[in-house]
Amino acid sequence: MTLEEAEAAVQDMLAGNAFGDAGHRIVIEEFLDGEEASFIVMVDGEHVLPMATSQDHKRVGNGDTGPNTGGMGAYSPAPVVTDEVHQRTMERIIWPTVKGMAAEGNTYTGFLYAGLMIDKQGNPKVIEFNCRFGDPETQPIMLRMKSDLVDLCLAACDGKLDEKTSEWDERASLGVVIAAGGYPGSYSTGDEIHGLPLEEVADGKVFHAGTKLADDDRVLTSGGRVLCATALGHTVAEAQKRAYALMTDIAGTAASAVTTSAGAPLSVSKTNG
């Protein structure tokens, strides 16, 4: 957006009543230019244990095109989070946040998700905070996790995260979301899904999201983001290739069987590695 376009948009909101009363007050903030990353840690009120970094892609179409969604794919680790960026994030963002909440009497225990924008100089800026894991970042992160997640959660509850470390598969992982046709717009539910793997997949896993099991044991769609085909690889590109291969059997079968009421096939959206 150019300065002229921004001025026109502001004029339209304030004087043109484009959004009614909701548009009579605007917020002007710094434009953040850089690369996004998801930085998730576990907190026990006093101690912090970082999880693996990740990066998600929210556009519905290939090549980061189309409308935004809750997330159409992710990979881990995020190359943009170098050791230096990791240290800066802990020192400038995570620790001040955890200590600040405690100082205000709001000691926090749980997962803390910092959505970051990292500029060309490697400086992290916070876009958002969430008190949870990310979706679909969780899927590739979990595929890399070698530690016992339950053990870490119990340690967080007991205030003993300082006694724990997290172990990770050194390989990259990538997850591709399979969404119902029409998502993020209107989509149907209750459509049957075919082609799901019947046995465990080596270095891969299909995570369920918007699915449900019918009384006759058929797997049906129940949401917009239906499945996430996730795989490991020595590089992001290799993990991507394996995730696509895992996805193809599902999408190839489901595309002819899972349709919306308008007849649109199940859509498969891919992230770029």
What does the pLDDT read at residue 254?
Answer: 44
Torsion of CA 257, 258, 260, 263, to 10 degrees: -30
Higher pLDDT, 10 or 49: 49
Top mean-pLDDT range of 5-14, 238-247, 253-262 = 238-247
Q: Which CATH code is given to the segment(s) 171-273?
A: 3.90.600.10
The H or E element containing residue 105 is: none
Handedness of CA 240, 242, 245, 249 (dihedral sign): negative
Report the pLDDT value the prediction gives residue 250, as an integer from 0 to 100: 82
Q: What mean pLDDT, rounded, does the chain reach? A: 88
203 by Cβ neighbours in 10 Å (0-12 / 13-18 / 19+) ranks as: middle
Residue whose C-alpha is closest to residue 206's, from 236, 178, 187:
178
Residue-range domain boundaries for the chain: 1-31, 32-169, 171-273
Nearest 5°: CA angle at 58, between 52 and 63?
105
Q: What is the pLDDT of residues 195-205, one digit of tens each?
A: 898 888 899 99
Contact 58, 70 (CB under 8 A): yes
Taking CA atoms, 93 is separated from 33, 116, 135, in Å, by 18, 10, 21
pLDDT digit string (tens) for 92-135?
A: 999 999 999 999 999 999 999 999 999 999 999 999 999 999 99
CA 41/CA 166 separation, integer angstroms: 11
State residue 53's pLDDT score: 98
Q: Is the pLDDT of residue 261 over 50?
A: no
Give residue 272's pLDDT. 37
Identify the CATH assignment for 32-169 out of 3.40.190.80, 3.30.470.20, 3.30.565.10, 3.40.50.1000. Answer: 3.30.470.20
What's the farthest any 2 CA atoms get from each other in the chain?
A: 61
**Terminal CA-CA length for the chain:** 27
pLDDT surpassing 50 at residue 269: no
Show the tokens assigned to 164.
């724990």
> Mean of the pLDDT values across residues 65-74?
86
- Which one has a higher pLDDT value, 27 or 81? 81
